[in-house]
Structure 1
Amino acid sequence: MAQFTTISEILEAVKEEELDFIRFHFSDADGVFKELDVPPALLESAFSKGLPFDNSVGGTFKPTGSDLMLKPDPRTFSILDYGRQNYGRVVCELTFLDGQPFDGCVRSALKLFVRKIYQAGYTFSVSSSLSFYLFDASFVASGESFSPSPETIMKTEAVKREILSALNVAEIDIVSLRQMHQGGPISIVFKEGSVLRTADNIMTAKYLVTDVARRHNLHASFMPKPATTMEGLTTTFGFTLMKDEFNEFYHPDQEMMISDKARGFIAGIFKHIRAICAVTNPTVNSYKRIVQKGKAPYYVSWSAVDRHSLIRLPSSRGRATRIEVQNADSSCNPYLSLLVLIAAGISGIDDNLKTIPAVNFETHDYSESEKQALSAGTLPNTLREALLAFNNDALIREALSDSISSSIYQTGIFEWSDYIGCVHTWELEKYL
């Protein structure tokens, strides 16, 4: 993402471009960028000292008291000049006023975790994808299945072109932006990058997609399952473990040409997957996507062939060998999702865990009992099940800070309680 190597280069570019403001972005607890627009005159001081910030605006994991500092990361600075706009933006971390890391900052949590595992000998790179829908006002109002009008189709094409331009300006490298059919989900496939940059890229892409759609009078949705008849939205993460330019998940002489470390990584994720779902699938609606006979993974299995498995091994080997996790949805917070998935995978490597056999065929037409027999269980059926597993999983909770873990659990339980207290359309149609 970075197009500048020093802070002085950034300050000079801001002056030359005559930018009116710099947009400071930071992630809230739900994985959505909050923003503050800052005059250029304050940028140099913000880089060196931070910018005082009252987090009572909401959306963060709150400490005692409300005053924090926004500390911009100069490596994320870019000038966004797409769509007749021209302003600077930078991704920030939250610290206490004395400069110490705030334990509720999700970006800092991932950054510190990556540093810790690097010191233990682990260096990961990640490929990823993000899917979303573009709706017009009629769908947002009704929530029924979506059949776009000719006008909406034309707007969608314009939005896709402008999203590509915006991603390019933000220096986010992608493989493709694709939509398989009109009215269907749109997917951005990102190029492989470092763990932190991958999370930054997903967050920035969400922001840009939402911004571009809004200015074309469309609504960008990352809701996991917008309607019963519609395809769910996915975020995928493909992990590669590197050491001295060598992919440690690859082994040419072992079955499927993957190493014991790869199998341990898979086994670690399987062991903790029900707790992980509280992070990767964080809403009530997430579990409308994870159902039997659906396209999303439901059974805990892995395969190089079956595209409905929880973990998929793409066919490439050698340097390109990767482990692709497919259960996360587009509402997830990528900072926290990457953290817990890697923590679980590393635990499997360190503990020499053994995984179940791979599924070497497509299971789409198999019965549910046959799929169950090939798996290590199922994903949670509800947010409540995931939260209970999360609350009882010491490794996943300890990988996060106490502040973040407690907030995930309490916020989720509140959402679940609110949901089950509501009378829904299905109940009215069935029982009234």
Structure 2
Amino acid sequence: MNISESVDRLNKMIEDVGASFIDLKFCDLYGRWHHLTIDTSIIGEKLFTVGIGIDGSSMGYKSIESGDLTIIPDINTAFVDPFYDLPTISMICDITESSIEKPFHLDPRFIARKCESYLSNTVNGATALFSPEFEFYLFDEVEIAVKPHYSCFSLLSLEEDETGRGADIRHQEGYHHIPPADAFNNFRNNLSMMLKEANIPLKYHHHEVGAMGQQEIELGFLPLLNMADNVMLVKYFVRNLAYKEGISATFMPKPIQNASGSGMHIHLYLEKDGNSLFYDGSKPSCLSDTGMKYIGGILKNGKALFAFTNPSVNSYKRLCPHYEAPEYLFHSEANRTAAIRIPSYAKNPQEMRIEYRPSDATANPYLSFSALLLAGLYGIRTDIQAPDLVVGDFESQPSKVKKRFDRVPSNLKEALDALKREHEFLMVDNIFTEELINAWILLKSSEIDMIEKGISPMEFYLYYDT
């Protein structure tokens, strides 16, 4: 679409909804949106040719001495934003250098675009399709305080036991629960309608295992960049709808001790001419040689991948026994404790796929999806054959079988150390750069340092009376 067509399309949207403002959203390295708002009266070709200048140093992208960057809206992402009082059209932006002919090399959307281009050239016209499952909690009241003399968190849910409603969900028994115990079905219905209005395909929604308001929604399949945009949109919609309804939403992987954590399982496959390249009906589990090599690449680079798919300290508190979370890097059919699950209900030429189960929504989706794709393509490119599928319970396997598979990283530092050692698979065609990887490691190491130096309530519980 040329510049003139983009302007015409935007002007038609403005006219159709009577929009007063355009909201421009752009992503930092963490995977968090920032925004600025402009009046519709200044809309013209310059918005798409010159863009809007921003201070990259305030987002951690550049030094204060040379912080100028530019954002350019992508008209294909335009939607009517339902969370503003006055009619507003929102668009997601690419970030460029102040000379807009040069993309900004750390822009997460630019990295995703490079990754898609590399795939098309490497696997002759193939497309990578992604479908995430979002798990999140809704709480009725939340208190969070981090001060030198006062540190706490408190979570209240009307679904928890002993609230006196007579319709409480017992601990860890929320899976597919129905109303009235499922207090948030209407929330999910409202969310579904809003996502539909924004052209985001939703497969289903339901209550998850966690008794204190854990939810799940799953999206249909889309290419990498489109789905990464939609991940950002879903989180934006969930948080803002919760705020509008007087409750609070979190995608934090493990907000409640001894309760189910929230992941973002990712279904994915390579598609060409309407068929999955992972399908071969003559092979075990109908998984083609291409699919097995793709899995081999993910398992080979498995620990380093966690630095992008599970990039928070809290991520690793979810990856523990008894909560359907992976502990080892193995693949299996229908097994929800596997790092890679082969869904037994999708064995056909059009839908054959794998499910990557470790990841969570603290990830930057542009980076995590790209890293997953590059790891799989590394397996195809270097002809890595995945080990045989593990059948049955992993813990009951003979020791010689278990020794073939690595444990998942036990903490974020271990994942970052793996990334330092093993990141060649990300460097192909300069998609990820040394500068990006070093910036990511520094960013995440500072989080570890902050948490390690902080004083937690648990320390007072254990040591105050010593």
TM-score, scaled to structure 2: 0.85
Pick closer, same or farther for the CA change 1:107–1:200 going to 2, 3 Å.
Answer: same
1:139-167, CA deviations, whole angstroms, 9 ceiling, x for partnerless residues? 65754575426699897444323312221
| Structure 1: gaps spanning 5 or more residues | none
* 1:283 counterpart = 2:312: yes
More helix by share: 1
For residues 328 and 400 of structure 2, the distance between their equivalents in structure 1, rounded to whole angstroms, comes to 7
1:352 is matched with which residue: 362, 373, 383? 383
Indicate the residue corresponding to 1:172 in structure 2: 200
For residues 368 and 266 of structure 2, the distance between their equivalents in structure 1, rounded to whole angstroms, comes to 9
Higher relative contact order (CA 8 A, sep 6+): 1
Instruction: Answer yes or no: is the 8 Å Cα contact 1:29–1:333 preserved in 2.
Output: yes
For residues 30 and 196 of structure 1, the distance between their equivalents in structure 2, rounded to whole angstroms, comes to 17
Indicate the residue corresponding to 1:106 in structure 2: 108
Deviation, 1:137, is 2.4
1:403-431, CA deviations, whole angstroms, 9 ceiling, x for partnerless residues? 32122100111111222223333333334
For residues 281 and 434 of structure 2, the distance between their equivalents in structure 1, rounded to whole angstroms, comes to 42
Pick closer, same or farther for the CA change 1:218–1:147 going to 2, 3 Å.
Answer: closer
Indicate the residue corresponding to 1:417 in structure 2: 449
Indicate the residue corresponding to 2:97 in structure 1: 96
Deviation, 1:61, is 6.3
* 1:395 counterpart = 2:424: yes
Indicate the residue corresponding to 2:121 in structure 1: 119
- Higher mean Cα deviation, 330-339 or 234-243? 234-243
- Higher mean Cα deviation, 137-146 or 26-35? 137-146
Deviation, 1:295, is 2.2
Deviation, 1:199, is 0.6
Instruction: Answer yes or no: is the 8 Å Cα contact 2:140–2:156 preserved in 1.
Output: no
For residues 115 and 57 of structure 2, the distance between their equivalents in structure 1, rounded to whole angstroms, comes to 27
Deviation, 1:392, is 1.2
Instruction: Answer yes or no: is the 8 Å Cα contact 2:139–2:157 preserved in 1.
Output: no
Indicate the residue corresponding to 1:323 in structure 2: 354
* Paired residues for 1:227-266 under 5 Å: 227-266=256-295
* 1:129 counterpart = 2:133: yes
Instruction: Answer yes or no: is the 8 Å Cα contact 1:61–1:404 preserved in 2.
Output: no
1:147-205, CA deviations, whole angstroms, 9 ceiling, x for partnerless residues? 42669989744432331222112110110121136523211100011111111111100
For residues 197 and 95 of structure 2, the distance between their equivalents in structure 1, rounded to whole angstroms, comes to 26
Q: Percent identity?
A: 25
Instruction: Answer yes or no: is the 8 Å Cα contact 2:264–2:361 preserved in 1.
Output: yes
Deviation, 1:243, is 2.3
* Paired residues for 1:298-377 under 5 Å: 298-315=327-344, 316-317=346-347, 318-363=349-394, 366=395, 373=402, 376-377=405-406
* Paired residues for 1:129-208 under 5 Å: 129-138=133-142, 140=144, 143=153, 146-148=156-158, 156-180=184-208, 182-208=211-237
For residues 103 and 158 of structure 1, the distance between their equivalents in structure 2, rounded to whole angstroms, comes to 42
Instruction: Answer yes or no: is the 8 Å Cα contact 1:30–1:59 preserved in 2.
Output: no
Deviation, 1:397, is 4.8
Deviation, 1:116, is 2.1
Indicate the residue corresponding to 2:175 in structure 1: none
Instruction: Answer yes or no: is the 8 Å Cα contact 1:107–1:335 preserved in 2.
Output: yes
For residues 64 and 353 of structure 2, the distance between their equivalents in structure 1, rounded to whole angstroms, comes to 38
For residues 266 and 305 of structure 2, the distance between their equivalents in structure 1, rounded to whole angstroms, comes to 14
Instruction: Answer yes or no: is the 8 Å Cα contact 2:129–2:268 preserved in 1.
Output: yes
Pick closer, same or farther for the CA change 1:213–1:124 going to 2, 3 Å.
Answer: same
1:326-366, CA deviations, whole angstroms, 9 ceiling, x for partnerless residues? 10012111110000011010000111112122112244xx3
For residues 63 and 255 of structure 2, the distance between their equivalents in structure 1, rounded to whole angstroms, comes to 30
Deviation, 1:112, is 1.6
* Code of the aligned partner of 2:107: C
Indicate the residue corresponding to 2:68 in structure 1: 67
Deviation, 1:98, is 1.0
For residues 341 and 196 of structure 2, the distance between their equivalents in structure 1, rounded to whole angstroms, comes to 29
> What SS does the corresponding residue of 2:301 show, helix, strand or coil?
helix
For residues 193 and 185 of structure 1, the distance between their equivalents in structure 2, rounded to whole angstroms, comes to 25
TM-score, scaled to structure 1: 0.91
Indicate the residue corresponding to 2:47 in structure 1: 46
Aligned length: 426
After superposition, the CA RMSD in angstroms is 2.6
